[in-house]
Structure 1
Amino acid sequence: MQEPAEKATELFRLMNRHRRDVFKGYRDFTATIKKDSTIDSKTQSLILIACSILSQCDMCISLHVQNAASHGATRDEIIDAALLSVAMGGSPKMMYMKYVYDEVDKLFD
């Protein structure tokens, strides 16, 4: 069974193969936002974790937890960022904490 991050990587490959122009435009857009931001990479990643939970995207959660850890976020910072989205979204968003815990357990245990 593929992990959520592996599923996302496969999706990116498919998009790049079938609509390279659209996918490149999207990547360029997001890269520009990140590059020109006054917010450091670790904080951006933590914000994106919370947004991923609010969007209910398990693949996004997986990617952004891994990215946050690669930018120096601790297990506790990742969980706290995720819990902020639960505070905004309630119990339906709490169910997506499972994906956060799955990823941090792989990365930090």
Structure 2
Amino acid sequence: MNAAENASMTLAKMQQQAGEVFPNYLNFTKQISQFGPIDHKMQELIHVACSLMSQCEMCISLHVQGAASLGATKEEILQAAMLAISMGGSPKLMYMKYVFEEVEDLFD
């Protein structure tokens, strides 16, 4: 099972187990994505960088796929990830492995 599949399974279990807390969280994140002038592709690129900063393999997978589905190029995704490395240093660099895996699956 890949990281995106693991994330989907985790989200489904949260839906079942967290009562109203999880739907409220999802509504909150939806409201944030609709607030302001940043388009959804750019939001996903920001999420790619944040996922790398958080060192979350499942998040990286989901947001690289999300960015690509909204028209982000391989180069835009890699730059977003590398911006996180510029802020986070070598520990974040190690998580580029997951970005490279996703972009290779999506673009190569």
AA of the residue aligned to 2:56:
C
Cα distance in structure 1, aligned partners of 2:83 and 2:5: 26
Task: Quote the sequence identity (%).
Answer: 54
Quote how far apart the aligned CAs of 1:37 are.
2.6
- The residue type paired with residue 44 of structure 1 is Q
Return the alpha-carbon distance in structure 1 between the equivalents of residues 22 and 101 of structure 2.
Answer: 28
Matched ranges for 1:1-109 at <5 A: 2-109=1-108
Matched letter for residue 58 of structure 1: E
Moved over 3 A (4+): none
Gaps in structure 1 of 5+ consecutive residues: none
Q: For residues 4-37 of structure 1, what are the alpha-carbon distances to aligned partners after superposition, in whole Å with 9 as ceiling and x for unaligned? A: 0100000001000111311101100000000123
TM-score, with length taken from structure 1: 0.97
Aligned length: 108
Which letter maps to 2:29?
A: T
Rounded to whole Å, the distance in 2 between the matches of 1:28 and 1:66 is: 21
Corresponding letter in the other structure for 2:69: S
- Bigger shift: 71-80 or 13-22? 13-22
**Alignment gaps of 5+ in structure 2:** none
What is the distance in 2 between the residues matched to 1:57 and 1:46? 15
Q: TM-score with structure 2 length normalisation?
A: 0.98
User: What letter corresponds to residue 34 of structure 2 in structure 1?
Assistant: K
Looking at structure 2, the residues matched to 80 and 3 of structure 1 have their Cα atoms a distance apart, in angstroms, of 23
CA distance in 2, matches of 1:23, 1:4: 20
